[in-house]
Chains A and B, each alone.
Chain A
Amino acid sequence: MSETDTDRTRRLIIASFWTVILIGLPLWWKTTDVYRAQLPFTEIEQWSRWEASNLVFPLDFTFYFAEEDETPIELEQLSENIERALNEQFSRDAEADGLVTQLSVTVDSVKWKQWDKIVRKENEIDVDSFGNSMEEFNGRYEFYIAPGDGDMRVNLGNSRCAFVQINRKDWNELAITKILPSLLFSFFHSEYLLLSALFKPPSPEEKPNIDNMRAMKYSPRYQITFSLMNACPSTLLVDWNIEEAVNMYLKPFLDELKILSEVTVDSQVQYYAQLTVTPEKNENEGYYYLRPEMLPHFVNSAEWNLASAVSSYPTLNLILYTPEANQSPLHIHNSKGHPIDNNAFLIPRWGGIVISNPQTTNNSYKLTVEELKPIIEIFISQLRGLLGVRKFTSDDKELSAKVRYAPPPSTAITAWELDSLIRHRTAENIVAAISTLKSLSQLVSEIPNMVVLDHIQTEVLQALDSLKESCENLRTMSYVAALNHAKQALERSESAFFDPTMVSMLYFPDEHKYAIYMPLFVPVSVPLLIALLREAKKKK
């Protein structure tokens, strides 16, 4: 065998070893790889950058002008003019940018004769008798406009209808195209501000919105727990007729909210529920009080049984506290040191507390349904805050109009407020769903050896579909459908994100794998490399 022959054989041997290794490595890589279903990363990325969205919250206003013989209003062109002025005013507002406003206006006239039916004494009208209370009419509002003497007056009903009286001197097309847009702007501006704030990344210098901090995170179900905290039953045993009171006063409110969230109510009585703070005594007037800075420590969560063992939905705790005899009567001071009227306070995103000092000389006392009424009213106002209901008011101080609100309905929520809440929750859910999907895609791309199963992929795709549907429904003003789709999007994205297989702790870090393969790969690779180097040297 000649020298060159052996060299050739040696080179062939080395080359064949390297061929096996070069083919084997990707094969090994492939076979040890974990299963990862393909996620729509680019689509999620688009959503999170607001490319696919162009979200709109359209509103539709109908103005009915009184048909007067003396100075008739020319309806032609009027609707376009008002619409243009209205859209300009909303889009001019720099703070609410990013949100496309789409406000449409229709005008019509109604015979003055017909007004007599609805106008009562001194122009007070029963606006609710002809407003739309159906949920499908969310976003469609009616305004009845008539000339009158004196300042502009607005009579706001509880359903989607208002009566506006404009001074006779402004009873012309030009003035109306100015007055009506600014009126609407003053009512709807704050809602638009809140909506657009949702889509903006939070900036550190901006003060967080107090309303938003108070309201609970959206959940399809809430649990409301009424607790009667009896500090010392030895001296005063308090009982309550809460079941009946809830059915009577709270149920109408919860029924209205059903479209947003299911709410279940339960109640309990806790005895010997003692405070962790000691109230101070006002010696002059003989009462005890809590300073505002003591209130955060009011709830004794270690000893009061407040947690529910069966429900995983957020719980709103409403507590009626009756102090013990040697701390009674107990009041809450405001920051100026005066007792506050309703003797109640709200804990943001947690619940509300009312302190009651029953006046009795007996050692037992039962709060009747009638006595519970003012207490439940406080609880309802706290619940409105906790569930994100905002009062529908005009926020423009300069507006010369006198706004007169209809007395609050028995449901404790007006159609205006419910509409606004539905729109807000829809937007909130869309934002939450998108940010959850974004976090999911980040998690998956950060942990390369995390298994992504098919059902995660399905959930993500469905969530994206629901998001699309929701946006589509918003465009066509089907707010209820939009809300339901947004709910689904949120639920699906969360079920994908919180899936038990999506936990980073389940997977080995790569370092561990290398540590196991090291004793094989290093000693094997050394002779291979040396042989290769030697051949290369010889070639030279």
Chain B
Amino acid sequence: MWQPYRLVYLLLFNQILLISIYSAKTSDQFRENLIIKPLPDGKVLTHFEFSIHSSNVDESDYDLFPRSIGQIFQTYKARELHLTFTQGRWNYEGWGYPIAPSAGTGVELWAWLWKNENLDKNWRSLTNALAGVFCASLNFIDERSTVQPRLSFRPEGVYIDSELFNSAELRYGSLPHENVCTENLTPWLKLLPCKSKAGISSLLNSHKLYNSNFHSMSVHVQPVCQQKECHNSQLEILQTVSTVFDPVRESGKRDWSLYQLFDRDITRACPLAIESNIVLMLPEVEDYSIDPEPFSIQTVDSTKRRFGVYDLTKSKTNFKLMMKWKEAFFEYDINPIQPDVYAHRYFTGFGQEHGGIKVNLFNRNPTNSINIQYCDVIPWYLRLYMHTLKVTVNGNEISSGPSYPIKQLFYQLAVDRSRPSVMEANISLPADTITTLSIEFDKAFIKYTEHPPDANRGFDVGSAVITTLSKAESKWDSILYQQTQDGIYTETLLISLPTPDFSMPYNVITLTCTVIALFFGSMFNLLTRRFVALDSENRDKK
């Protein structure tokens, strides 16, 4: 299960045992962490994590746990809730894997809801309520875009298989076209106990966060266990912000400081947090200097990766942090790191009638084949033809047999104007290969009222999600996330459908009317007028 705060559990186990006075006072526990990681291409990843554990969420009395989220969660009978806003796309080949799985561009919402007769109504209300809280168009996730994946999106909190599937159902929806900006960040910040007034969260400056190469912001609500036996389950709200900054763009060097990245320093610690750490992932090469030196350095044994840790609860003064590299300017590494699994998806074909989707799934592991779950939600107006599904491995088409990579395939047929088609597959990627799936479709001619106001922009198709359940240590460049279920997101796609001229109906009405009127006029005149042949004789008489 993916629980990034485990990182700090592992590293700072001793410090966590130091029980703060507040943990005795309230039942809610607030932890905040900032993980900074210099990326191989000179960029800097900052990953904020704020987690609140609460053991009495059934109550109507809230302390640190945000009331708005708690009430939405309780009222609409949710078991787990995951909402991610992303701007830009995570560059897997340049940056490796993200610390927390970023979602595809736009907004992604998925939730496990307790089964009851109102489940679909609850899902509608949930999207509407969250739309209100986060000032996002989440209310546009309706029946037409909601799906129930069968293989992907397992719960991230604690669960028992048998109990889960009998009592809860999954709903997933995404809005690839949604822009993420300050109006989403502001309500997100208001959920934090210290808002953006103290502690690590005071660094979150929207002017800087949205001036970056990648930005992802999320809220996860899920049940967690405190002990192994799980005597009393708690509810956790985990809020994260991941941002990739590019110091090289501004100075030509990859040196950075907190002030340079966020325009702010941390002036005071959040008194409500029982844990407040800045974790700096130290690069393997030694040609850099950090100021101040980490308060402690931890090493993960198996990979020898080192982490510098700053415990802010011990720092009384303003906290500043900077990192300098011993180099005159930064030279890009021409050999980008290649993670084991990554994917690209694109449209094929031309014209306004037919098209195709192609997905390249890369397995760069030289020795092991890797099992993945592929999930793709295609809107109904792209009519897929299953018989055109082709699978090639390194360019060779494979249609059956033991080497056929698709082990299991779920396909939900689209229904016009009511549900999208869903393709889910359990795929085994052979070692060191490129597996390509391709499928063809027809573009639907949709009603003219179904076009958005900016009709000629086209329609967005959300990311495909690749979920890996990998035990391989080398999959992650840190080993912290063993046994993780993690999503790798492909690009979102933009497709243009046949777009009519929207003044057409009126033109047709007026033209038809004019033709009818002309016809009527001449017919009427023919019927009512008398036509007399005049001869010249008569004319002369006149």
Contacts and interface: CB of A to CB of B under 8 A. Distances in A.
B60 interface: yes
Contact of A516 (B64, B132, B506, B518): B506
A381 interface: no
A322 to B, nearest CB: 14
A234 B271 contact: yes
B63 interface: yes
A268 interface: yes
A215 to B, nearest CB: 24
Given A307-B68, A519-B517, A242 B509 contact: no
Given A237-B271, A531-B524, A531-B528, A266 B67 contact: yes
B59 A516 contact: no
A305 B528 contact: no
Given A310-B75, A364-B25, A526 B521 contact: yes
Contacts of A6: 530
B527 interface: yes
A272 B189 CA distance: 12
10 contacts: A10-B530, A243-B61, A305-B66, A308-B67, A310-B76, A310-B129, A366-B25, A517-B513, A519-B517, A531-B528
A531 B525 CA distance: 9
Given A243-B61, A516-B506, A364 B75 contact: no
A264 B60 CA distance: 9
B272 A237 contact: yes
A13 B272 CA distance: 93
Select the residue from A268, A307, A311 with max chain B CB neighbours within 10 A: A268
A309 interface: yes
A233 interface: yes
B2 interface: no
B129 A234 contact: no
A406 to B, nearest CB: 33
B195 A267 contact: no
A269 B64 contact: yes
Secondary structure at the A interface, as helix, strand, loop or mixed, is mixed
Given A239-B26, A308-B68, A310-B75, A527 B525 contact: yes
A481 interface: no
A305 B514 contact: no
Interface string A506-518: 0000000000110
Select the residue from B21, B60, B129 with max chain A CB neighbours within 10 A: B60
Interface in A303-339: 303, 305, 307-311
Contacts of A447: none
Nearest to B530: A6
Given A237-B22, A272-B198, A519-B514, A13 B63 contact: no
A298 B20 CA distance: 34
B527 A13 contact: yes
A6 B60 CA distance: 92
Nearest to B30: A271
A234 B517 contact: no
Nearest to A516: B509
Nearest to A236: B271
Interface of A: 6, 10, 13-14, 17, 233-234, 237, 239, 242-243, 264-269, 271-272, 274, 303, 305, 307-311, 363-364, 366, 516-517, 519-520, 522-524, 526-528, 531
Contacts of A303: 190, 195
B296 to A, nearest CB: 25
Contact of B197 (A269, A272, A307): A272
Interface string B176-208: 000000000000001101110110000000000
Contacts of B509: 516, 519
A364 B26 CA distance: 12
Contacts of A308: 67-68, 71
B521 A10 contact: no
A235 B190 CA distance: 20
Contact of A266 (B60, B197, B516, B524): B60
Nearest to A1: B530
B176 to A, nearest CB: 25
B513 A527 contact: no
A429 to B, nearest CB: 27
A6 B8 CA distance: 105
Contacts of B69: 309
B167 interface: no
Contacts of A363: 271
Given A233-B271, A265-B60, 12 more contacts: A6-B530, A14-B528, A234-B268, A239-B25, A268-B62, A272-B194, A274-B197, A309-B132, A309-B133, A310-B75, A519-B509, A519-B510
A222 to B, nearest CB: 14
